[in-house]
Amino acid sequence: MHIEGFKVFCDLCETGSFSRAAEASGITQSAVSQQIRSVEKSFGVPLIDRDKKTFCLTPEGHVYWEVCRDIIARYDGLSTRFRVARGELGGKLRIASVISIALHNLPPILKQFRKNHPGVEITVDYRKADEIYEAVEDGRADLGLVAYPKARPGLRAITCWQERLVLVTSPGHKLSGKKLLSLADLEGERFVGLTPDIPTRRYLDKILRKEGVRVQYVAELENIETVKAAVEAEQALSIIPETSVRQEVKLGALTMRGIEAERMWRPMGAITRRPIQKKASLLEFLSLLTPRAKALIPSA
């Protein structure tokens, strides 16, 4: 049976009408019927329950429909796979990312991907973590980038890398020159944090509670960029990812120090639908994020 025959059967199942299936393929109704009977004869199974008054598939018919859809999807993806083989990709790739990743981790990856695949149009939408999960789940984004990635029903989480969490202070703060810091040194200090609903804030609150350390929150903000500005303005402290503060440290606007404590690392990763879409640009982008992602790519 040729690919056109698989498409005819799918048209028939989707419309429930021999006439509409025939019209979509530009053939006669009798030709549609002949194709169906030919498959039934070849496999020795009925695909359509002809005892019903309305169009109805048999259990075998449902199986065959599923196979037809899979074959057509693979066939339709051939042109994309050919472009991949030639080092060419096209289409759109929609990424939703938290601001810290989008500004500090994503740029070199985007640069490399665009160099390798200039035909792909990439859009990056800056969102909060909960919004990113929703965007991937409902199809508004192909890929989400978040801190502390967690799998949810219908969604897969892939941890791609970890980054160190550091203590950030204004240059004149009493702790700015101290070489070795522990969480206990933060007791009672003025502190700038992310809002309580953000995963990084929830993690830090958990660590501080475990160590019995209380800080005095003077500001709670929605992203790390505004946290940095508030630390400088308030002469306060914060704990944020090292990669997000390197520029300010280089310019002398802020100082950073490592903290002598366990688990002061923030896992970063990707959120995709489960199973992962067989979308070439998405799979190629994932392979740049982490070698582990390659093992999750479905084979052709």
- The residue among 206, 170, 207, 210 whose CA lies nearest residue 190 is 170
For residue 278, the one-letter residue type is: K
Residue 290: partners with Cβ closer than 8 Å, 6 or more residues away: 158, 159, 160, 161, 270
CA distances from 5 to 15, 45, 49, 65, 69 (A): 15, 17, 19, 11, 11
pLDDT at residue 141, as a whole number: 94
pLDDT at residue 276, as a whole number: 76
pLDDT in tens, 18-69: 998 888 888 999 999 999 999 999 999 999 998 888 889 999 999 999 888 8
pLDDT at residue 35, as a whole number: 92
Question: Above 60 in pLDDT, residue 212?
Answer: yes
- Between these two residues, 136 and 172, which has the higher pLDDT value? 136
Residue 180: partners with Cβ closer than 8 Å, 6 or more residues away: 260
pLDDT at residue 195, as a whole number: 94
When mean pLDDT is compared across 116-125, 262-271, 285-294, the lowest value belongs to: 285-294
Share of the chain above pLDDT 70, in %: 93
Task: Enumerate domains of the chain plus CATH numbers.
Answer: 3-76 (1.10.10.10), 89-161+267-296 (3.40.190.10), 164-265 (3.40.190.10)
Where do the DSSP E strands lie in 134-198?
143-147, 155-169, 190-194
Provide the mean pLDDT of the chain.
87
Question: Above 80 in pLDDT, residue 89?
Answer: no
